[in-house]
Amino acid sequence: MTSAVSLQNVSRHFGAVKALDEVTLDVGEGEFFAMLGPSGSGKTTCLRLIAGFEQPTTGKIRIFGDAVEGVPPYRRNVNTVFQDYALFPHMNVRENVEFSLMLRKVDPATRAREAEAALELVKLGGYGDRRPGQLSGGQRLRVALARAIVNKPKVLLLDEPLGALDLKLREQMQDELKALQKTLGITFVFVTHDQGEALSMADRLAVFNFGRLIQVGTPEQIYRNPSSRFVADFVGSSNVLGPDFVHNIVGERRWASLRPEAIHVTRAGRGLSTLSGTVMSRSYLGAMTRLGIDLHGTLLHAVVPSADDLPVEGETVTLGFAKESLHLMEDEG
């Protein structure tokens, strides 16, 4: 895999604070790569280092093989879509998209042609004369995307661009961003704290916490085989089980992850499982219902179809799951 972006032992310190701590990471050419983590995890600092808005305290950064430490943002073959889109309110849509071409002294006819082509790509053909204040949130995001891709970057950096959108529009823009990346064929590096976005959009993703890179893999690898308790708990929903519980099941004193959908729940006396517990809570989620079950001091969550004959709170149930669904992890928090 050709590396579009490569970080080798990269750290960024702000005084005594290690915003990024010895991160080594490779992003492939043409890959949709997500950086996922809670606030303060280091993901945005990593993006800003790639963009050139920050410089590493230690380590090396390469973009398509070229060392970029000390190289300013405008001399890197990347563009950034910011969380607030940073559109110029006094300019219309076309002028916003053309702005960087104007700075590069591209002739007006070429600027207009390139801007219109970029707007067509993001489904905003014919919107050039409108001002940003006349657009919806999704349309403003499309303008920001057009302004970035009009420069034909090799890497597009996206800093939580969907965070301000409502759920329905966010889901729509997830599909559109993925389709745009496939059309352009360039590398997207997407920062988010939303696990659903990362899992549904990315070819691969990196999970950050406290400035450290915790795990890198495909969405399926990260979800099914979390490396640590933090990854299991943060990515999706999981039952993180302690060594004593796990020892009783598989004979090893290890931490383990058990996804709620892997648990089968039946009313007491109907199943063959020897595990029994009491339903403590029910949360209706539409097609599925989430049950909180007290298993003799261990709280498990199971997700079952809402159409089933569901037990009520206080009822005793039996639980079953395949042993291979119990994923053993490192002892790291």
Count of the separate structural domains present in the chain:
2
Order the strands of the 298-305 sheet from edge to edge: 264-267, 316-320, 275-284, 288-295, 298-305
Could you tell me if 77 and 136 are in contact, meaning their C-beta atoms sit under 8 angstroms apart?
A: no
In single-letter form, the type of residue at position 101 comes to L
333 within domain boundaries: no
Kindly state the tokens that stand for 235. 């990515």
Q: What is the domain-level CATH number for residue 317?
A: 2.40.50.140
Confidence (pLDDT) at 331: 66
pTM exceeds cut of 0.85: yes
If asked whether residues 168 and 224 sit together in one domain, one would say: yes
Query: What digits encode the pLDDT tens for the residues 83-101?
Result: 888 899 999 999 999 998 9
283 within domain boundaries: yes
How many whole angstroms separate alpha carbon 314 and alpha carbon 298? Answer: 15
Residue 36 has pLDDT above 80, yes or no: yes
Confidence (pLDDT) at 272: 56
Query: What digits encode the pLDDT tens for the residues 131-163?
Result: 999 998 899 999 999 999 999 999 999 999 988
DSSP classification of residue 324 = G
3-state secondary structure of 94: helix
If asked whether residues 188 and 244 sit together in one domain, one would say: no
If asked whether residues 152 and 255 sit together in one domain, one would say: no
What are 328's strand-pairing partners?
A: 256
With bands split at pLDDT 50, 70 and 90, how would you rate the model's confidence at 168? confident
Residue 115 has pLDDT above 70, yes or no: yes
Lowest mean pLDDT among 39-43, 72-76, 108-112, 273-277: 273-277
DSSP classification of residue 124 = -
Q: What is the domain-level CATH number for residue 56?
A: 3.40.50.300
Mark which of 180, 204, 233 sits at the end of a domain: 233
245 within domain boundaries: yes
In this prediction, residues 180-206 reach a mean pLDDT of 94
H helix intervals, the chain: 43-51, 93-103, 108-121, 137-149, 167-184, 195-201, 219-224, 229-234, 243-250
Kindly state the tokens that stand for 181. 């990346």
3-state secondary structure of 99: helix
Residue 199 has pLDDT above 60, yes or no: yes
How many whole angstroms separate alpha carbon 25 and alpha carbon 128? Answer: 39
In this prediction, residues 173-201 reach a mean pLDDT of 93
Confidence (pLDDT) at 330: 77
Average pLDDT, the chain: 91
Domain, as residue range, for 18: 3-233
If asked whether residues 177 and 206 sit together in one domain, one would say: yes
If asked whether residues 134 and 148 sit together in one domain, one would say: yes
Farthest CA pair distance, the chain = 79
Confidence (pLDDT) at 271: 55
In this prediction, residues 18-38 reach a mean pLDDT of 96
109 within domain boundaries: yes
With bands split at pLDDT 50, 70 and 90, how would you rate the model's confidence at 261? very high
DSSP classification of residue 140 = H
- pLDDT > 90 fraction of the chain, expressed in percent and rounded: 76
Residue 118 has pLDDT above 70, yes or no: yes
Residue 333 has pLDDT above 70, yes or no: no
Could you tell me if 115 and 94 are in contact, meaning their C-beta atoms sit under 8 angstroms apart?
A: yes
118 within domain boundaries: yes
DSSP secondary structure string for all residues of 180-223? HHHHH--EEEEEES-HHHHHHH-SEEEEEETTEEEEEE-HHHHH
In this prediction, residues 65-73 reach a mean pLDDT of 93
Query: What digits encode the pLDDT tens for the residues 39-65?
Result: 999 999 999 999 999 999 999 999 999
If asked whether residues 181 and 261 sit together in one domain, one would say: no
Confidence (pLDDT) at 80: 93
200 within domain boundaries: yes
Confidence (pLDDT) at 269: 63
Mark which of 216, 233, 250 sits at the end of a domain: 233
Q: Within its chain, how far is the Cα of 46 from the centroid?
A: 14
If asked whether residues 242 and 224 sit together in one domain, one would say: no
With bands split at pLDDT 50, 70 and 90, how would you rate the model's confidence at 164? confident
Give whichever of 80-89, 205-214, 225-234, 323-332 has the largest mean pLDDT: 205-214
In this prediction, residues 228-257 reach a mean pLDDT of 90
Kindly state the tokens that stand for 315. 């009822």
Confidence (pLDDT) at 158: 96
If asked whether residues 100 and 169 sit together in one domain, one would say: yes
If asked whether residues 110 and 247 sit together in one domain, one would say: no
If asked whether residues 58 and 170 sit together in one domain, one would say: yes
How many whole angstroms separate alpha carbon 268 and alpha carbon 278? Answer: 10
| Backbone torsions φ then ψ of 244, nearest 5 degrees | -65, -45
Confidence (pLDDT) at 120: 94
102 within domain boundaries: yes
If asked whether residues 117 and 250 sit together in one domain, one would say: no
Kindly state the tokens that stand for 21. 């701590």
Residue 322 has pLDDT above 90, yes or no: no
If asked whether residues 211 and 296 sit together in one domain, one would say: no
Mark which of 198, 218, 233 sits at the end of a domain: 233
In single-letter form, the type of residue at position 217 comes to G
In this prediction, residues 215-240 reach a mean pLDDT of 92
